Amino acid sequence: MTDLWLISVPLDKTSSASVEKLKHTIAKTNLATCCKFSIPELKVGVLDSLLSVSDDLSKLDTLTEGVIKKTCQCMKDVMDQATDKVLENALANGVDLISYVTQFQWDRAKYPTALPLSTLADIIHKEISQLETELKTQTAAYNNAKSSLQILEHKLEGNLQTRSLNTFVKKEDLVISEYLTTLLVVVTQASYLQWEGTYESLSEFVVPRSSRKLYEDQEGGVFAVTLFRRDVPEFKMKAQERNFDYDPHRFIVREYSYDVEEQMLEEMKKLSVHKKEQYGVFVRCLKMNFSQVFIAWIHLKALRVFVESVLRFGLPVNYQAFLLQTDKKRSKRLRKELASLFVYLDPTATVTASKLDMNCDIPGLLQQEYFSYICFQISTNVLDFS
């Protein structure tokens, strides 16, 4: 599992020597790979505003990561947890996430470096909010299409007492006229003989020998019987009475209309097509949104590195940022190596702020690990997002 650590240390002789020593060590021990992370010159502003921006960026980081997680979860859900499909669509600017981060270049057109830091934060915040709203809208549209189809499918599927009969009943099986009509009756297999012996007596005007078995499965059969329209209520009542006397599911007269069920089947076909269309729209939206949110997130990380470097190392702006790519097996050893090399930056940073039971005065670092160097972790494993 790949871990990406975005590191910043001062750009001075001591730190530069430590960075070179780190590169040599990790190359020799295979603890990680290291590459430069380019951040352009940005407008610093006054210290008070920088503290405020730092706090805002920390909150925005949490918000943005939350939108990434929601987007990934939607991808998993809509793609039925298919790992290959999720990875295929979770790209940033058309490339895999690790490649994008390790080859990061600041988008000056989208995030002009001449703007104040607070304005850049506002641009990212507005972008993330819009993408989150669009995600909610597209998710609702797809879920509505999916739900409408499922509701109709539920009505048209199931056992013989509830399912659509138009899959095996033809219009010519029905006698429909001014005076006559055809009822469809579900009969249990054990009651076939009783049905044949009694159906003509369930009302006075049943057409003799009109019973025909149209369909059969393991539950029973569907029989068509023709009678006068005016006798339908009596036929239904007598059939129900027979059920109370014997088997409550012996004779079930279906409420049935060929035309109505045809309309429902047509509607289901339309809803099925609509769901497929919404699926395509939704997947394209998720792919585009994920790319945009992830790109904004990495720019946000770059902003945070810049701001924290100024706050930690002072003015004039003088820092160097680099990216370490490691894994969980080697991360503990790599942390020790970093702590050893950069301990002179802050000798007190040997344990986390929470373990020290003290308040950290550096915005954005509350309730998280504090190191002598600046470090932001970047997750690129979309399968872990949920």
Give the span between the Cα atoms of 342 and 349, in whole angstroms.
10
Contact 251, 187 (CB under 8 A): yes
Q: Strand order in 319-327's β-sheet?
A: 33-36, 319-327, 2-10, 374-378
Q: Which fold has domain 2-149+274-384?
A: subunit c (vma5p) of the yeast v-atpase, domain 2 (1.20.1460)
Long-range CB pairs of 169-175 (<8 Å, 24+ gap) are 169/214, 169/215, 169/222, 169/224, 169/258, 171/258, 173/212, 173/214, 173/224, 174/224, 174/258, 175/207, 175/210, 175/226
* Distance (Å, whole) CA 239 – CA 251: 6
Where are the chain's structural domains?
2-149+274-384, 171-255
Give the global pTM.
0.79
Q: Are 284 and 138 in contact (CB under 8 A)?
A: no
Burial class for 134, CB neighbours closer than 10 Å (0-12, 13-18, 19+): middle
Helix (H) or strand (E) holding 185: strand 180-188
What are the tokens at 116? Answer: 């104040």
pLDDT at position 356 is 40
CA distance 36 to 21: 15
- Give the pLDDT score at 311: 93
Close Cβ partners of 54 (under 8 Å, ≥ 6 residues apart):
304, 307, 308, 311, 362, 363, 364
Q: What's residue 186's pLDDT?
A: 94
Please give the DSSP secondary-structure letter assigned to residue 139.
H
Q: Which fold has domain 171-255?
A: Alpha-Beta Plaits (3.30.70)
Residue 73: which residues within 8 A CB-CB, separation 6 or more? 385, 386
Q: State the pairing for strand pair 319-327/33-36.
A: antiparallel
d(CA 375, CA 111): 23
Helix (H) or strand (E) holding 221: strand 220-228
On the CB side of 361, CA atoms within 13 Å amount to: 2
How far is Cα 259 from Cα 99, in angstroms, rounded to an integer? 58
Residue 3: its H or E element: strand 2-10
The tens-digit pLDDT sequence of the chain (386 residues) is: 678 999 999 999 999 999 999 999 998 999 999 999 999 999 988 878 899 999 999 999 999 999 999 999 999 999 887 788 888 889 999 999 999 999 999 999 999 999 999 999 999 999 999 999 999 999 999 999 999 888 888 777 778 887 888 888 888 899 989 999 999 999 998 899 999 999 999 999 999 999 999 999 988 999 999 999 999 999 999 988 876 555 556 889 998 888 888 888 888 899 999 999 999 999 999 999 999 999 999 999 999 999 999 999 988 999 999 999 998 899 999 999 999 999 999 888 765 434 444 444 444 444 457 899 999 999 988 766 65
pLDDT at 351: 52
pLDDT of residue 381: 83
Measured CA to CA, the distance from residue 7 to residue 326 in angstroms comes to 13
Burial of 205 (0-12, 13-18, 19+ CB in 10 A): middle
Distance separating alpha carbons of residues 206 and 121, to the nearest angstrom: 80
What is the C-alpha end-to-end distance of the chain, expressed in Å?
16
Alpha helices in 2-43 (DSSP H): 13-29
| Rounded Cα gap, residues 295 and 339, in angstroms | 30
pLDDT at 56: 96
Q: What is the dihedral of CA 354, 356, 357, 358, to 10 degrees?
A: -100
3-class secondary structure per residue, 277-341: HHHHHHHHHHHHHHHHHHHHHHHHHHHHHHHHHHHHHCCCCCEEEEEEEEEHHHHHHHHHHHHHH
